[in-house]
């Protein structure tokens, strides 16, 4: 069965930046083919990605979050856990789960940094769509060759 639907999971933390990834994703994949899901933060993405993958409804799932150092915990540990969880969701389900989870080394809530990261998330969303389409093409070619 060929799937033409995609899931896009986005963290609400820093949504003014993170939502731009969906803009980039929609440059290559029509919005009508994308189901969008919001989660509170990055840490909640792997569980939802796994659940969505297990439905069998999606050709690929993209997950976007902006993990910054809030001074309370080490954000790099959270980012690593999120990326590991997303990879596991994809490996366990067989559905491509793509990460647009960025963890900048230096981020300050200034107009300048916000503008930079908004633009960067558009590009990363576009790259996630390219990756989704590419892996789907490759897997289809492999299944036809078998």
CATH number of the domain within which 58 lies: 3.40.50.960
pTM of the predicted protein model:
0.90
Mean pLDDT of the chain: 87
Mean pLDDT of 103-125: 77
> How many distinct structural domains can be found in the chain?
1
Between 128 and 69, whose confidence is greater? 128
- The residues that are catalytic are 74
Among residues 2, 3, 20, which one has the least CA distance to residue 11?
20
- Chain centroid to CA 73: 23
Q: Could you tell me if residue 1 is inside a domain?
A: no
Q: Could you tell me if residue 132 is inside a domain?
A: yes
What was the pLDDT predicted at 95?
A: 96
Mean pLDDT of 73-84: 73
pLDDT of 57 above 90: yes
Between 90 and 66, whose confidence is greater? 90
Q: Could you tell me if residue 72 is inside a domain?
A: yes
What was the pLDDT predicted at 1?
A: 42
What was the pLDDT predicted at 72?
A: 59
Between 137 and 82, whose confidence is greater? 137
Domain span at 31: 6-145
CB 68 within 8 A of CB 41: no
């Amino acid at each position: 069965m060929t799937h033409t639907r995609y899931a896009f999971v986005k963290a609400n933390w820093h949504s003014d930046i993170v939502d731009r990834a969906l803009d980039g994703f929609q440059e290559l994949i029509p919005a009508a083919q994308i189901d969008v899901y919001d989660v509170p933060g990055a840490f909640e993405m792997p569980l939802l990605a796994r659940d969505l993958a297990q439905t069998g409804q999606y050709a690929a799932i993209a997950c976007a979050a902006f993990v910054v150092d809030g001074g309370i915990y080490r954000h790099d540990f959270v980012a690593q856990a999120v990326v590991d969880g997303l990879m596991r969701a994809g490996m366990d389900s067989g559905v491509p789960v793509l990460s647009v989870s960025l963890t900048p080394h230096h981020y300050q809530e200034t107009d300048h940094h916000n503008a930079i990261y908004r633009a960067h998330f558009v590009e990363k969303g576009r790259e996630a769509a390219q990756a989704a389409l590419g892996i789907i093409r490759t897997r289809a070619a492999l299944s036809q060759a078998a």
